[in-house]
Structure formats: structure tokens, C-alpha cells
Amino acid sequence: MKRKPNIAVVGATGLVGSTFLEVLEQRDFPIGTLYAMASAKSAGKKITYRGSEVTVEELNERSFDKDIDIALFSAGGALSTRYAPVAAAAGCIVVDNSSAWRMDPDVPLVVPEVNPHAVKKAVRGIIANPNCSTIQAVLPLKVLHDAYRIRRIVYSTYQSVSGAGIKGLRDLEQGLAGNDLCEAFPHPIAGNCIPHIDAFLENGYTKEEMKMIGETKKILEDDSIRITATTVRVPVQAAHSESINIEFENPFDLDEAKALLAAAPGIEVIDDPQKNCYPLARDAAGTDSVYVGRIRRDDSLASGLNFWCVADNIRKGAATNSVQIAELLIK
């Protein structure tokens, strides 16, 4: 693409949408014209990008009649289902942050450090951004799968309230102030851990848990991996933490596994437990890396590994990964 691409941010006034704008500016993404879109109630608001004001437009059927090259969507599944095909039909490539398109076989599910080649498969003009909890997991998993072949994964997640957007943050803030709100969660979150993210399904799992299972297989391009998950909401503002247990098909050397993780793009290894050094949500918040630590053998298995994984769910888990996909597109 010789000229600077025209970019639309859909859901520009939301938590992820506003972070799209921050990340685009911080990464010096080349933009010809920026369009900000949101619901009717946000239309007319002003946002600031690179020191200039941009007026938020109402998202509608005519929004993509303009010459827009890439649209970053974070407006929820219903709006993505309705408007992503409209944008794609107008010649725009959509990078969608909702769950609407992730498991569609004709829509690539992309983490640039893991499967950048998949962007070429966007035959429908739509690329899906994975679930935040999946994104941070598959960076280290890809490295280890390539080296030793993963047979089974057990996920246990500790997910921050920002994963539920502004309402989630408000529930925690008000709960810590002594006013238990339940706008985002079925129970008060302050002083609590809630083993319930998204709706429960007939199999006893939640949608969030099944997202991690299905998306991991799709991104790693291996349906043979056996995966189970338990996802938990915890009273943390930002950054998701995950305990990941793996069973390999092949033997592995622990020092080699650590070295492979340390050398992988997008990963920072923090693993000196004798000095109390391991990834923490407070340190990961506001950053774009995936942090890995507590790397150790699972002695209950012939070839098993445990590690702890932390990343900012709004940045690498949503906005930054989407912008990285857009960077692949303009290359």
C-alpha cells in the first residue's frame, strides 16, 4: 500500500476502542484519514488523536461508503455480525475484536507472533482477534508445541475486571468503596473470586472456557490437542493471570524450554522465584508483552510442564494485537 491507509475505529468511545487509538499513536501507525464510529448515543462526541479532534460518527449501513482500508472493530458481537460484512463488502478489511467471527472456518484467527501467515486467508475480508485470555496463552504454547508437541493443556485463569469493560471496573471500584454493585458480574467482585465468566453451557463449562479451548486449537492449527479450562474473575483492575499445565508427547529439557521461551518474540521471562521474581498483574498492566514465569516440571507426568503467564488483557489481549494485525496488512 503506497499511500497511508484510511482507518476506522468502530466502538471508539469504549474501553478497547479508546485503547486502539492510544496504541495506534504509540506505535506510530501510518494513517491517512482516521474515522471514529460508535453508537448513536456517542455520535457527535469529540476524541483526540495526535493532538487533533475527531468527531465520532454513528455506525450505520452507510458508514463504509467512504474510502476506508482497515476497520478496527470493538463494538460487541451483535454489531460486528451486522456491520463487519457491510464494511468488507465495501472493500474494507475488518479486524474484529468480538467473538462473532472467531470460529468461522472462513475467518482467520490471528496472533501475529504465532500465525501471521493466516492473514492471507481472509477471503471474507474479516480477520478475528482472539479472546484476550487465549492470546497471551498461545505465545508461549506455540514455542513449546513446535519444540515438543503438546498433548494436553489445563488452563486455570485469574482474569481482571477490565475484561468486562467499564462496568467491570465500576463494580470493583464501588465494591472497594463499600457499595457492592453487580452491573457486570453475578456477585460482588470486591474481596471475591467468581468462577464464572460469560454464560454457562449445557456441558457445565462457560462460553469463556470453551472459547479458550476452541481458539487455542484453531490458532495452533492442531485439533488433536486435548484442552480443559476453568476461568475465574478476580478483583484486579487490569491484566489477566493464568496457570497453564502442559503434557508433552516428547521429552524436554527444562533449561532448553526456558531458553526457547526467553528468545521468543513478544515474551519476557521473569523466573527467579528464590528472589520472589515472577510475573505480576500490577507490573504487566499498561504494557504489551506476555510475561512467563514459575516455569517448572510437573513431576506427576512423564513429560509435563507448569508455568504462570500474565499480560494486559486490554492491550496485548485486545487493542495491541489488533493493531499488530493491521501492521501485517499494510506490509
Q: For residue 165, with 0-12 CB atoms within 10 Å meaning exposed, 13-18 middle and 19 or more buried, which class applies?
A: middle
Taken in order 279, 239, 10, 12, is the CA torsion positive or negative? Answer: negative
Q: pTM for the whole thing?
A: 0.96
pLDDT 10s digits, 312-327: 999 999 999 999 999 9
pLDDT at 251 over 70: yes
φ/ψ of residue 294, rounded to 5:
50, 40
Contact (CB, 8 A) for 313 and 239: yes
Element (H, E) at 113: none
Calculate the CA dihedral of residues 35, 36, 38, 43 and round it to 10 degrees: -100
Look up residue 230 and give its DSSP letter: E
pLDDT at 105 over 80: yes
pLDDT 10s digits, 286-296: 999 999 999 99
**Active-site position among 92, 145, 240, 309:** 240
pLDDT band at 3 (very low <50, low <70, confident <90, very high): confident
**Active-site position among 132, 145, 196, 309:** 132
pLDDT 10s digits, 33-48: 999 999 888 999 999 9
Contact (CB, 8 A) for 19 and 47: no
pLDDT at 2 over 70: no
pLDDT 10s digits, 112-153: 999 999 999 998 999 999 999 999 999 999 999 999 999 999
pLDDT at 235 over 80: yes
pLDDT at 10 over 70: yes
Q: What is the rounded average pLDDT for all residues in the chain? A: 97
Structural domains for the chain: 7-130+318-330 (3.40.50.720), 133-313 (3.30.360.10)
pLDDT 10s digits, 56-86: 999 999 999 999 999 999 998 999 999 999 9
- Annotation marks residue 132 as catalytic: yes
Backbone dihedral region for residue 214 (phi beyond 0: left; psi -120 to 50: alpha; all else: beta): alpha
